[in-house]
Amino acid sequence: MKPFPEHNVCEFSPWTGCAPLHIESWQGINKLIIGVHCKIEKANVENIAMLDTAAEWSIIGGKLAEKILEDKTLSIPTHLPITLSTRLGKFTGNVHRLAVSLIAEKGRGHDLEVDGSFIIMPDWKGPMVLGFHGFLERILFAIDHGVSSQQQGYIYFAMP
């Protein structure tokens, strides 16, 4: 197991937490190249989300999206409709603000709660996505993928 960096060892930023990566894992029919354990706070739902630095937006779909749309206390809709063209087809949804936390590994710092913006699309058949707009742009993070397939990869995170 890799040691958690000492506070202020890294001159760029002290990491407040880290979590193991789920590399090339499966979620139903979806292969997650990089997955991260997260929690949608008000819904009290934990999930492995796909971390995608090339995704323009963060996305929540399926039954979880339906739950968010039904329970008005879970998010704040911005009424900004977005249509995405993806490898799975075109999907339309609205941007919602909601708190999502990256879950730190026990003993390796603290969870990081992010006030994120997600496109809520009940028709989306893919995994939950942590993309650039609305999530990754709001945090500092580094990925250590592990040197070999035998070594656990980690994401290190903090607020700017």
Spell out the domains of the chain, with CATH numbers in brackets: 17-158 (2.40.70.10)
**Whose structure tokens read 């249509």?**
83
Residue 158: the pLDDT is: 96
Question: What's the whole-model pTM score?
Answer: 0.86
Contact (CB, 8 A) for 15 and 158 = yes
Residue 66: the pLDDT is: 94
Return phi, psi of residue 21, to 5°.
Answer: -90, 150
Residue 147: the pLDDT is: 72
Residue 146: the pLDDT is: 81
Other residues' Cβ atoms within 10 Å of the Cβ of residue 33: 12
Contact (CB, 8 A) for 58 and 133 = yes
SS3 at position 70: helix
Residue 12: the pLDDT is: 52
Count helices and strands in the chain by DSSP H and E runs: 1, 11
Residue 1: the pLDDT is: 45
Other residues' Cβ atoms within 10 Å of the Cβ of residue 108: 18
Residue 4: the pLDDT is: 58
Local mean pLDDT, 10-residue blocks, the chain (160 residues): 51 80 91 95 94 95 93 87 90 95 96 97 95 96 83 93
